[in-house]
Copies of this chain bind each other. A is one copy, B any other.
Amino acid sequence: MTESLRLEDAVAVLKRTPETLNSLLAGLPDTWIKATEGPATWSPYDVIGHLIHGERTDWIPRARHILAGETRPFEPFDRTAQFRESAGKTLTELLATFTDLRRQNVSVLEKMNLGDEDLNRRGLHPELGDVTLGQLIATWVVHDLDHIAQITRTMAKVYRETTGPWSAYLSILRDRQR
């Protein structure tokens, strides 16, 4: 049995993510935006494209799938769609797209008027098996927070050498790549 979700707590975070990302990234030089943690890791620019793909294909579509009582598994999520879909777009465009999509999706979520019974409804994840709507929404929140952490970790590592002896105190410089 997992802990139950208070929907207003989840929505409070989901609503804030676009502005957090705008405040953190809008107008920054490419030194920060295009930095990665090494081969096969994502830049802040890549992450915003990934978040956009999630708004389009993951969270709300899967919530609807559960509420429709679908017994087939969810469509698998494409974790690298952003490399195709972000092509040619500026970070400013991507941030604006993400902001729009998130606003629409939070509005859809609020209009679903979900009660505890709805949050306990189940869907079938293609790899993980049985999951609930509440778990899906909690995952949406943690996924946002995980990617904000990833962006700041990636940016921090731009200065891995530049901090000199202080790097001994800055554990983020040695954190996992992903």
Interface of A toward B, CB cutoff 8 Å: 2-6, 8-9, 12-13, 16, 19-20, 22-24, 27-29, 31-32, 125, 128-132, 134-136, 138-139, 141-143, 145-146, 148-149, 152-153, 155-156, 159, 161-166, 168-173, 175-176, 178
B162 engages A146 (CB within 8 Å): no
Please name 30 pairs of A and B residues whose Cβ atoms are closer than 8 Å in the assembled complex, sorted by A.
Answer: A3-B162, A6-B31, A9-B32, A12-B27, A13-B155, A20-B24, A22-B23, A125-B165, A128-B165, A128-B166, A128-B168, A128-B169, A131-B166, A132-B164, A135-B162, A135-B163, A135-B165, A135-B166, A138-B159, A138-B164, A139-B159, A139-B166, A142-B156, A148-B149, A148-B152, A149-B149, A152-B152, A171-B176, A171-B178, A175-B176
Closest B residue to A165 by beta carbon equals B128
A8: B residues at CB distance < 8 A: 29
The number of times this chain is found in the oligomer is 2
What CA separation (Å) do A78 and B171 show in the bound complex? 18
A149: B residues at CB distance < 8 A: 148-149, 152-153, 156, 172, 175
